Amino acid sequence: MNENKVALVTGGNRGIGLAIVKGLAEHGFDVVLGCRNLSQGDAVASAIGANVIAVELDLSIHESRHRALAHISERFPKIDVLVNNAGVLEEAPFAQLSNEALMSSMQTNAFAAFELTQYFANQMASNGYGRIVNISSGWGAFSDGLTGPAAYSISKATLNAMTKVAANSYSGDIKINAMCPGWVRTDMGGMSATRSPEEGAETAIWLAMLSSDAPTGQFFRDKKQIDW
């Protein structure tokens, strides 16, 4: 890869993540596509172009995540942009939600994002520049009543809280924000959804390229700030 800015996108081999990967590549980024299935990721990366490289990154397994982070840092010592996109949707209602199912959702949707945010934000602080985008949801917003499936709303609300705390923890040209992509036609959103993956990705791509005077620690939809 050349000297372009480097972005890491988790869950980048399909849906909104893939649209973000493509959009960042089109804007001149070198993109590291994180995915659980490396052969699928390699195929997707090859189809996009030479400035996209797939890496294995399974957020559900602690040991695998640590190995992956070490591998990514060895290959790409300077990550300028992190997009925490990977997520899971557990649909069990609160009354039937098991502790195991809740913790699985928390692990992928919140705890892994915390770990990656901390890991790369510390590097970004040393480098003097960084943009972190957390793909959240209106279902994780207290302002919207937390009306989504129980584990999803709880885990995305946690992701929102982590975004705010992380943003308060770094000064300088480090921007850490969350965004809601809306209802998007993906495996998770279903084919009845009102937005294409490209439309869902627009705000994430915009947040990845914020100027130095832009806000941090905020929640966005359609490039406009919304309430937590």
The secondary structure of 128-154 as a DSSP string is: T-EEEEEE--GGG-GGGT--S-HHHHH
Provide the 8-state DSSP code for 103: H
> What b/e readout covers 80-112, taking b as 16+ CB neighbours within 10 angstroms?
bbbbbbbbbbbeeeeeebeeebbebbbbbbbbb
What does the block give as tokens for 2? 């050349």
In angstroms, rounded to a whole number, what is the distance separating the alpha carbons of residues 133 and 151? 21
Query: Of the listed 119, 129, 152, 170, which one is catalytic?
Result: 152
**Is 170 noted as a catalytic residue in this protein?**
no
* Helices (H) then strands (E): counts for the chain: 7, 8
DSSP string, 27-60: TT-EEEEEES-HHHHHHHHHHH-TTEEEEE--TT
20 near 13, Cβ under 8 Å? no
Q: What residues act catalytically?
A: 152
